[in-house]
Structure 1
Amino acid sequence: MPRRSVAKLATVTAVVAASVLAVAPSAHADLVTYCIGTGGAVTVPNDLYVPAGESCALTGTTITGNVSVAAGGNLVVTGGTVSGEVRVAANGYLDASDTAIAGQVVLAAGGYGVFLRDARTGNVTVRPKGTTTIDSFLFVEQSTIAGTVNAGAGEVRLDRGTQVERNVSTTGTYYTDVHDSFVDGTLSVLNSATGSVVCGSAVRGLTTFAGNLGGVQLGPNGTLDSCASGGYWGRDVSITSTTGGVTVDDNIIDGRLTVTSNDPAAQVAANNRIRGGVTGDQAAATTNQAARLAGPDRDDAGDQRAEARRTSAVQEAVAAGDARL
């Protein structure tokens, strides 16, 4: 390349780089808006970025682009709208209530957590933990996920009228629980460290539980968590290679129930209605209510973890002042 062209290219590159650096922190930049502090009912005309270790608390805010929460950052959104996707980095936290997110939500490996209440999102993904030391969580209440849930780490709970319009798939989570919710596709829970509880819920597609170490509880009278009622299963249900106990109580299964290679053998109560019958080894069903009531409440423990991070994030955002969006 001629020397003059090289010099000209270097000059242009320097000007562009300087422009980006100058524009990025601006409240109304064309590229990205930084958020440190609190913001209200305004429209952000581009992408939003929460810097590493900072907190942003928004109420009634509309974001027309994508959102990125950097490592150790916190974003708390109430009554907001996001036209794009939300990505949360390691040790980052997203808390969205009464908020619509048009795109996907992705929690990176080692991300602290995602809490959704009265929200609507696209696909939700929790990356596997890998070599990180942080155990992530995904807690969803009274929300609609217009896509799939795919989690590879941490605590996962779908609760209180949540609807997932496609499939739910988890592998290697700490636990995966579904309470009073609806899954329009398949449900797959593999290799969970403390098992899975499904109560008062409906799953339309095939359901698979395999390799779970802490047990599987479908319906009440199990040892893992408190539960008021069983659920409806639109197709076959398979529970295999599970340790810690399997209990199936007060369920309607419009297919076959398979319970094989579980240690101890599964307890399948007589009050289940299973259209396709049961395949596999069964033990006599017993009532485990006393053991259940004595055990820890998984829901309360998770809520406390989310509440602690949410409270800290909002306090930090308020202390930082107006985000000048």
Structure 2
Amino acid sequence: MKILTLIATASLVATGSLVAFTGSAQAALYTTCVGDGGAVTVSNDLVVPAGKSCTLTGTKVKGTVTVEAGADLVAAGATFNGAVTVGENAYLDLTDTTVKGALTTNSAFGAHVEKSTLKAVDATEGFVYVVDSTLGGAVSSKAGELYVTGSTLNSSLTGENNQYSDVYDSTVKGALTVGGNTLGGVFCASEVYGAATYTGNADTLQIGGEGLLGSCAGASYFGGNLAVTDNTAKSVLDNAIVRGGLTATGNNPVLVVGELARVRGGVTGETAAAGASAARSAKKAAPQDRGADLAEKAAARAAEAKADAHGAGPSRL
């Protein structure tokens, strides 16, 4: 593996293999990763150059991590003390990894986080696929795909103008906001303790209960108010407890409330009872859980990244 430590500054003077600074210029010290990295400590920032691939196993990075445009970073058992930034069409894959700073992606291919601990996540375009992880800060996904399963989010979760925003078997301790998703969203066997809002979504909203977008045997819980408003999606609320009030206004078609839904507060707006024929159709239809497709997409990109990294040679960290 080729790991290079570089120094960038406005004014440099080189003597042999050493680089010195002139005046009061400040250095930006970083390590470039291309290939396979092992259980070492990188004491400064780490950069995966554009179009290159890097794998890290048991590596600790004390500074920030940057995955440049078209690059790939696959990390397992790693610790990143700083922020992580993922560029255009770049890919990030984390397993059993701790990120102590914020994760930011901008027009990335995607980010797959599994059995990991992160703080805040801010993603614009690309997918965010979170599995069996803990996220300490706010999670926001815009204009991409959002899928969270088996995870605990200690703050808010927002999915805006995505293709879809799906939450399975997870706990959201802050607010949940799903707005403007072209393929709607799923909330299944999960809990949210802040206010929950679904607005301006199209296609299908499956809020608790069984449905066409996935099998959902467990009940869901909304600790605050639930607002389902101004959606053109086919929206169903079922097998869920809403501790606060339910607002269902401006939906076309109107929100369908199943027989297993319990709203403790008042109901504002228009709802409809689930028909027997609709319930039978949902049970007969094959579930279309979008997680399987997303897992396949992530696995394919990760496999390519690992092959490219291995081809770059063994670690010389």
Matched, 1:159 2:149: yes
Assess if the C-alpha contact under 8 Å between 1:215 and 1:242 holds in 2.
no
CA distance in structure 2 between the aligned counterparts of 1:22 and 1:218, rounded to whole angstroms: 61
Report the residue type matching 1:139 in the other structure.
Y
2:29 maps to: 31
- Helix, strand or coil at the partner of 1:116: strand
Q: Aligned residues, how many?
A: 300
Matched, 1:230 2:219: yes
Secondary structure of the structure 2 residue equivalent to 1:107: strand
- TM-superposed CA distance for 1:21, in Å, is 8.3
Displacement of 1:282 in angstroms is: 1.6
Q: Which consecutive unaligned segments of at least 5 residues does structure 1 have?
A: 1-11, 24-28, 130-135
- Provide the residue aligned with 2:7 in structure 1: none
| Residue of structure 2 equivalent to 1:266 | 255
Q: As a proportion of its length, which structure holds more helix?
A: 1
2:231 and 2:18 map into 1 onto residues whose CA distance is: 54
- Structure 2 residue runs without a partner (length 5+): 1-9, 22-26
Q: How many angstroms apart in 2 are the aligned matches of 1:142 and 1:20?
A: 46
Say whether the 8 Å CA contact 1:56–1:75 is kept in structure 2: yes
Partner of 1:311: 303
Q: Is 1:302 the counterpart of 2:294 in the alignment? A: yes
Could you say which residue in structure 1 is the equivalent of 2:174?
A: 185
How far does the alpha carbon of each residue in 1:108-150 deviate from its partner, in whole angstroms, 9 at most, with x for none? 1x211011001011100002x4xxxxxx100001111110001
- CA drift of 1:22 comes to 10
> Quick check: which one's strand share is greater?
2
CA distance, structure 2, for counterparts of residue 241 and residue 55 of structure 1: 44
Per the TM alignment, residue 321 of structure 1 is displaced from its structure 2 partner at its CA by: 1.2
Match in the other structure for 1:170: 159
Q: Are residue 146 (structure 1) and residue 130 (structure 2) matched? A: no
CA separation in 2, counterparts of 1:21 and 1:91?
33
Runs of 4+ in 1 over 6 A off after TM superposition: 18-23
Alpha-carbon distance in 2 for matches of 1:101, 1:14: 33
The whole-number CA distance in structure 1 between the counterparts of 2:286 and 2:101 is 41
**Alpha-carbon shift at residue 260 of structure 1 (Å):** 1.4
CA spacing shift, 1:306–1:171, aligned 2, 3 Å? same
The C-alpha deviation readout for 1:68-121, integer Å capped at 9, x for no partner, is 00000000000010010100000011100000000000001x211011001011
Percent pairwise identity? 39
Distance 1:213 1:20 in 2: 60
SS in 2 for 1:216: strand
How much does 1:202 deviate? 0.5
Equivalents in 2 of 1:257, 1:19: separation in Å? 68
